[in-house]
Every structure is written in C-alpha cells, then in structure tokens.
Amino acid sequence: MPFVKVMIHAVWGTKSRYPFLTKEVKQKVIKHIRENAQTKQIFIDRLNGHTEHLHCLFGLNAELSIAKTLQLIKGESAFWINKYQLTEPKFEWADEYFAVSVSESMLDKVRAYIDGQEEHHKKVNYAQEYDEFMKKYKFQNHG
C-alpha cells in the first residue's frame, strides 16, 4: 500500500461567476461535497467559499489525479444541485480551476485563509482574488 501525503489547495468558480452560492445553498453544497468525497475516499481538510466560488484543501490520493478528483467533486455536485433544484437558473461550475500544492509548513495558513472566506470577501471580490492567485502562482493568464 502506498503512503501518500500531497495536499492541494484548489479553487473553482461558478459558470460566468454567477452568485449561485447563497449562504443557505453554500452550506448544503459543502455538506454534500464532503459526504460525497468520503464515499470516493477523497480526504477534504477544508472547504469553504463565497457566492461564486469554493476553496478546497484536499489530500491527493495515490489513485486519483488532481483533474479526476476535481471532476468527481465538481461534476457530481453540479448534478446533485440540479437534481434537487437548489438554484434557479440551472447550476454550472466553470470549467477552469486553480490547484496548487501546499507544504506542511503552510497548511495552517491555508486552513485559516479558507475558513476566513466570508470576512475576506468583504474586502476583496472574486475577480480580485482570481487575479491575485494568477500573479502569486505565476499562472499564464488565459483570459
């Protein structure tokens, strides 16, 4: 059995940054994603966000790639949201996402950042946060 500990901080938004994730909807979606991830043996350490995006700190397991893990989380949750009609109009996640590895020494800082999303977004909107991630992690800007 392999022993793997690779922590990933992933961020993904709603399609066209539509504010689907009201407080009530977000709580239901987070609860569901956590339960669904457990059944797929995906370890979620932290999960939180704001009206148009989520942050997830998860452990990458030996069998799944980052893309497959996020496909399982995003695809299944969008299906579930629409099945139970939690949003109007039809819910969709954006195709793109960020994913960066997190060193052991930075885990607590990332956890605090994810836990503090409500407070953070009183000062910074998602577009600004998106731009900060692009610059901080030196991603090529595709848009």
Domain-by-domain residue ranges, the chain? Answer: 6-136
Within 10 Å of residue 85's Cβ, how many Cβ atoms? Answer: 9
State the distance between the two ends of the chain, measured CA to CA, in whole angstroms.
42
- Pick the residue with more confidence: 1 or 64? 64
Residue 2: predicted pLDDT: 79
The set of residues, in sequence order, having a beta carbon less than 8 Å from that of 72 and lying 6+ positions away, is 36, 37, 40, 42, 64
Residue with tokens 């969709």: 92
> Quick one: 6-136 is in which CATH superfamily?
Transposase IS200-like (3.30.70.1290)
Compute the radius of gyration of the chain from its Cα atoms. Answer: 15
**pLDDT surpassing 90 at residue 135:** yes
User: Does the reported pTM lie above 0.85?
Assistant: yes
**pLDDT surpassing 70 at residue 99:** yes
Residue 4: predicted pLDDT: 82
E strands within 5-138? 6-14, 43-50, 53-60, 93-102
Residue % of the chain over a pLDDT of 70: 98
Residue % of the chain over a pLDDT of 90: 92
